[in-house]
Amino acid sequence: MAVRIRGRGVVKGTARGAALLSGTPISFLGDLDIRTGRVTGRLSDLCGRSIAGRILVVPSTRGSAGAWRFIHQLRQHETHPIALLTDELPDPSVVQGAILSGIPVIAGVASAVGRAAGDNSLLAVDGEAGTVDILDEGVG
Amino acid sequence: MRLTDKDRSMLDGAQGPVRREAMEALVQLGEAFDAEAMVDIGYAHVHAGMAMYLGDVELVERLAHDGARMAVPASSNIANADMSHWPATGAPEKLVTLQRRAEAAHRAMGSSPCFTCTPYWAGHWPTWNTHMVSIESGVTVFCNSVLGARSNRDGFFAVYAGLTGRYPNFGLHLDANRRPTHRVVVEAGARGTSDHTALGYAVGRQVTNGIPLVSGLGRRPDLDELDALGVGMATSGGVAMFVLPGVTPPYGEDDECGTGLPEIHVDDAGLRAVYEEMCSPDAAGFDIVHLGCPHASFEEMKHYATLLEGRRVHDGAQLWVTTSRTVREMSRDAGILRTIEASGARVISDTCPISCHFARTCSPDPGLGVTPPELSAIVVDSAKQARYVRDMVHCPTLFTSTENAVATAVSGRFVPRW
């Protein structure tokens, strides 16, 4: 039986894939290599790992008015996360980038997902309903 | 969210697919931020469509192709290539050809193809209480703080707002969010635009996303200094508005509105620290001296012409002056473009060093043949340009005043501010 976590649906859309869990905020402008989706920001605990094709679980996004463009660039290079789960509501630029790029976003769920799921846990995300289903435990 | 009949007709597709797409996106944005309704906007400063970003020109091109037309006065933000004088920048022609497709799209959509980060100097001057949108954070802070218009720091959705004339009523569109959060006491003697970008940078770093109430300037800064101050704040922090009593509508000079707020002091040492931080110790010489960040106003062009009259840029150095194509034409009419160019300086429009093919953080279509040049350092007179040369061009910077930057270009030796 899957565990269901409810939060605030911010950007609609659905995704199903492996979780990538982080305990640090991420900046879409500056922390990521858009060609590979690899995290290059040293302040992120994901430094050296790739967000491409993953459901990115972070406490918050760090502000930058240009974030939307880099999210769109990740989408253009197909190195984007397929969904974004946070605790804090991301800033308007991130929300605009996610809407433009068709990436579902749910706020108010990252900590709960972090407790119930592991890295690589299979998740099903519904941005309209604001639900995250944890389909397996993953690792760690 | 409460929608009007007109909003609903756009959302239902009765006004065509472009307005449906735009309204759907704006409603989703509004719901994310608990906006109760949409407001009419009076102005939109929108995304250019940028040739250095894969598939980005196509974003605006597709809208124009599908029949998008601006519902309100609109201006286009800075682009990735000078579409007229590109050989002076060393840009590959294919990049310019792609960038020109965005120019054609803006002409079709009815947005002014001014391609600038300072549209106000090109005649786009929203007034008090005008709801507006802006993709450029420097425009947001100037329009909120100096003109009294109401703008958030927007992204691509500025285009959607321009196409519908509507925007969700949240953030700085609401009175409750336009009150100062910090009191800044300036104890530094800031003069000229360079110092004001540095002062703004020092403030923005401390107030992050807050609204600083600025006191202690000693005199009313001129319009270029006010612009520079806000741009500095928007660069180091997420500042979208400052309050300078006597300047920011509706605050009067003697209004007491900062009582009890957390205080921040910036003195000469704080100002100097910004210059020192932006002077890379590993800069071995320099290739380019740059003036005009943000894009120069006509008054700044006059200042450059005065500084450059009868002087020559040193052999082996380049002096770039960036401004909008509109101000460039004004400068030509006034006879000062000739003075500036006679010195050997290159006057470049539509772009700037951090927005052109120098940027290493972009990943354009490999077919465009973009190869960022190896640069030893860029001398700048703006904390904004300095910050992004470092972060995006990945080359050392040397930050000084406008006057000393000109002296640097003429002498071939870096002249520091302090």
pLDDT (tens digit per residue) in B62-106: 999 999 999 999 999 999 999 999 999 999 999 999 999 999 999
Could you give all domains of chain A from N- to C-terminal order, each with its CATH number? 3-134 (3.50.30.10)
Q: How confident is the model at residue A6 (pLDDT cuts 50, 70, 90)?
A: very high
**Of A77, A95, A99, which has the smallest distance from its Cβ to B54's Cβ?**
A77
The answer to whether B38 and B7 have CB atoms below 8 angstroms apart is yes
**Of B54, B136, B157, which has the smallest distance from its Cβ to A76's Cβ?**
B54
Would you state the pLDDT for residue B96?
98
Q: How many residues does chain B have?
A: 418
Residue B266: other Cβ atoms inside 10 A: 24
* Phi, psi of A11, rounded to the nearest 5 degrees: -125, 130
Q: Which fold has domain B280-411?
A: Aconitase; domain 3 (3.30.499)
Mean pLDDT of the region A48-69? 92
- Please tell me whether residue B316 adopts helix, strand or coil conformation: coil
Residue A139 has pLDDT above 80, yes or no: no
Q: Which residues pair with A16 in a beta bridge?
A: A124
Would you state the pLDDT for residue A30?
79
Residue A140 has pLDDT above 70, yes or no: no
Q: How confident is the model at residue B343 (pLDDT cuts 50, 70, 90)?
A: very high
A22 included as an active-site residue: no
Place of tokens 């974004």: A84
Q: In a 10 Å sphere around its CB, with 0-12 CB exposed, 13-18 middle and 19+ buried, how is residue A111 labelled? A: middle
The chain-wide mean pLDDT, for chain B, equals 97
Would you state the pLDDT for residue A19?
98
**Of B50, B156, B234, which has the smallest distance from its Cβ to A96's Cβ?**
B156
* Alpha-carbon separation of residue B384 from B145, B266, B267, B285, B381 (angstroms): 18, 18, 20, 21, 9
Residue B369 has pLDDT above 90, yes or no: yes
DSSP B120: G
Q: Which residues pair with A4 in a beta bridge?
A: A133
Would you state the pLDDT for residue B255?
82
Residue A136: other Cβ atoms inside 10 A: 14
The Cα–Cα gap between B149 and B135 comes to 15
Q: Where are the beta strands (DSSP E) in B312-358?
A: 318-323, 346-349
**B137 inside 8 A of chain A by CB:** yes
The Cα–Cα gap between B220 and B70 comes to 36
Would you state the pLDDT for residue A1?
61
Residue whose C-alpha is closest to residue B207's, from B185, B227, B236 = B236
* Phi, psi of B21, rounded to the nearest 5 degrees: -55, -45
- Quick: pLDDT tens for B206-265: 998 899 999 999 999 999 999 999 999 999 988 999 999 999 999 999 887 788 999 999
Q: Which two tokens stand for residue B52?
A: 């250095």
The answer to whether B154 contacts A96, with C-beta atoms less than 8 Å apart, is: yes
The Cα–Cα gap between A15 and A128 comes to 11
The Cα–Cα gap between B72 and B305 comes to 36
Mean pLDDT of the region A36-58? 95
Would you state the pLDDT for residue A71?
97
CATH of domain B5-175: 3.30.499.10
Q: Which residues pair with B265 in a beta bridge?
A: B185
Extents of the domains making up chain B: 5-175, 179-276, 280-411
- Please tell me whether residue A65 adopts helix, strand or coil conformation: coil
The answer to whether A19 and A55 have CB atoms below 8 angstroms apart is yes
- Quick: pLDDT tens for B115-153: 999 999 999 999 999 999 999 999 999 999 999 999 999
Residue whose C-alpha is closest to residue B135's, from A9, A69, A99 = A69
Which chain B residues are within 8 Å of A68, Cβ to Cβ?
155-157
Q: A92: Cβ–Cβ under 8 A, 6 or more apart, which residues? A: B29, B32, B33, B152, B153, B154, B155, B171
Mean pLDDT of the region B52-60? 97
Going by DSSP bridges, is the β-strand pair A131-134/B182-187 parallel, antiparallel, or unpaired? unpaired
Q: Where are the beta strands (DSSP E) in B245-353?
A: 263-267, 288-296, 318-323, 346-349
The answer to whether A92 contacts B56, with C-beta atoms less than 8 Å apart, is: no
Q: Which residues pair with B132 in a beta bridge?
A: B43
The active-site residue, picked from A44, A64, A93, A121, is: A64
Residue B304 has pLDDT above 90, yes or no: yes
The answer to whether A30 and A64 have CB atoms below 8 angstroms apart is yes
Give yes or no on whether B5-175 and B280-411 have one common fold.
Answer: yes
- Quick: pLDDT tens for B145-176: 999 999 999 999 999 999 999 999 999 999 99
Would you state the pLDDT for residue B154?
93
Which chain A residues are within 8 Å of B208, Cβ to Cβ?
63
Which chain A residues are within 8 Å of B138, Cβ to Cβ?
none
ipTM, interface predicted TM-score of the complex? 0.94
From B388, which residue of chain A is nearest by alpha-carbon distance? A30
- Please tell me whether residue B329 adopts helix, strand or coil conformation: helix
The Cα–Cα gap between B113 and B268 comes to 40
- Quick: pLDDT tens for A118-132: 999 999 999 999 999
Q: Which residue has the higher pLDDT, B194 or B418?
A: B194
